[in-house]
Amino acid sequence: MFLDFFYTLRSLKVPVSVTEWMTLMEALAKGHAKSSLTNFYFMARAILIKSETFYDQYDQAFAHVFREAALPPDIRQEILDWLADPLNRMALSEEDLEKIKRLDLDELREELEKRLAEQTERHDGGRRWVGTGGTSPFGHSGSHPGGIRIGGTGGGGHAMQIAAARRFQNYRTDVTLDVRQIKVALKKLRQFVREGPEDELDIERTIDKTCREAGEIELVFTRERKNTVKVLLLMDSGGSMSPYSRLVSRLFSAAHQMSHFRDFKGLYFHNCVYQDLYKDIYNNEAEPTASLLKSLSGDYKVILVGDAYMAPSELFSVGGAIDYYYHNDAPGMEWLKRIADHFRYCVWLNPLPERAWIHPTIRTVGSVFPMFPLTVDGLENAVKKLMVRR
């Protein structure tokens, strides 16, 4: 009954499980809907949807199934997602990148919206409309070098990858790394040491002592166990990182909310670490890296977050920093090595999926710091790595 509704919800990425569906069936069997669509609407929503953030999708699905309204065409969203993903651009050759500059992304997007709106029928061939073949930048099997393929299979091999986004399915599920999952992973980052006043009852030793005293109660107190883990989070805020800014800010807020660290510091850098790190990326409030290395002891656990994707000169040259007005006396690589030498526990989290770690600078950075992808598994492995000495 209403199975369509169930699958429509699922296709809109609403997390509905069979358990909830069976509950709904039970409620229906008990006659709670009172044969009224409105009652059914609220009842089904209460049982199936567990967060107000999904109410909108629920409304769409409900309207679609029960009033036969049209679902918004999600192909458009897929295209926009695809456009927003810098990975797709990385996969292009230099030559294509040069050509794509003729149409920058926003233009491309606007143009696509416009043409989708203007076009009213299926279109194959030709140079302008969205369809198949041809040299329009949109559609599939075409040969416009900077074009976007929409569904279908590849033609001349010149068109950019698949707008239908199937290739990046795995990658998309990785984005579900939410604050809770990050917190659960970071929770493992702990190291208990007893310190402070002796004000906690040590049950084991109290029992032992009492038994030795033949039942005469002897209370033994001990110091409270406290987590001594100190964390330093260094985040790349460079331009190539902006698609991941939400992911990184989730990591930051989770780490910041973790009250069980003894100390937590979060600082930013731009593409690569040089002589300064920034407390706030907007007003350039800097903290010299050298003084950080002096003031923080080597037992800080350092988590660097960045795509490590930069021009080789940014990593290897004096004065190679991407910011024109910023001069670095030592190459970025030198600073990274200094950090790795000073802090015994370091990891690098990379939001790019592992198969994209082929760029030379990513490989080099990966040789200095153990590198993990910014996913649930990657974060867990990174935390494990942080607990053992390199």
SS (H, E, C) 210-259: HHHCCCCCCCCEEEEEEECCEEEEEEECCHHHHHHHHHHHHHHHHHHHCC
Strands 139-140 vs 192-201: parallel, antiparallel or unpaired: unpaired
Nearest to other proteins of 73, 215 (CB atom): 215
Task: Compute the least distance from the CB of residue 318 to other proteins, in Å.
Answer: 46
Q: Which two tokens stand for residue 259?
A: 């009250």
Does 49 interact with other proteins (rule: CB under 8 A)?
A: yes
Which amino acid type is present at position 331? P
Kindly give the pairing relationship between strand 221-227 and strand 192-201. antiparallel
Nearer to other proteins, 176 or 297 (CB): 176
Residues 206 to 265 in contact with other proteins, rule: CB under 8 A: 215, 217
Q: Which of residues 160-189 bind other proteins (CB under 8 A)?
A: 178-180, 183-184, 187
**Which of 1, 10, 13, 15: binder of other proteins (CB under 8 A)?**
15
- What does DSSP say about strands 285-288 and 276-280: parallel, antiparallel, or unpaired? antiparallel
Span of 26-34, 142-150, 235-243, 349-357 interacting with other proteins by CB under 8 A: 26-34
Give the C-alpha separation, 158 to 362, whole Å: 26
C-alpha span between 6 and 65 (Å, rounded): 10
Closest CA to 349 of 229, 227, 247: 247
Least distance to other proteins from the beta carbon of 206, Å? Answer: 9
Q: Output phi, psi for 382, to 5 deg.
A: -65, -45
* Out of 1, 10, 11, 26, the residue judged to bind other proteins by CB under 8 A: 26
Is position 30 an interface residue for other proteins (rule: CB under 8 A)? yes
Using the contact rule CB under 8 A, the part of the chain among 39-47, 139-147, 232-240, 382-390 near other proteins is 39-47
- Does residue 52 touch other proteins according to CB under 8 A? yes
Binding stretches for other proteins (CB under 8 A): 15, 17, 19-20, 23, 26-27, 30-32, 34, 39, 42-43, 46-47, 49-52, 55, 178-180, 183-184, 187, 215, 217
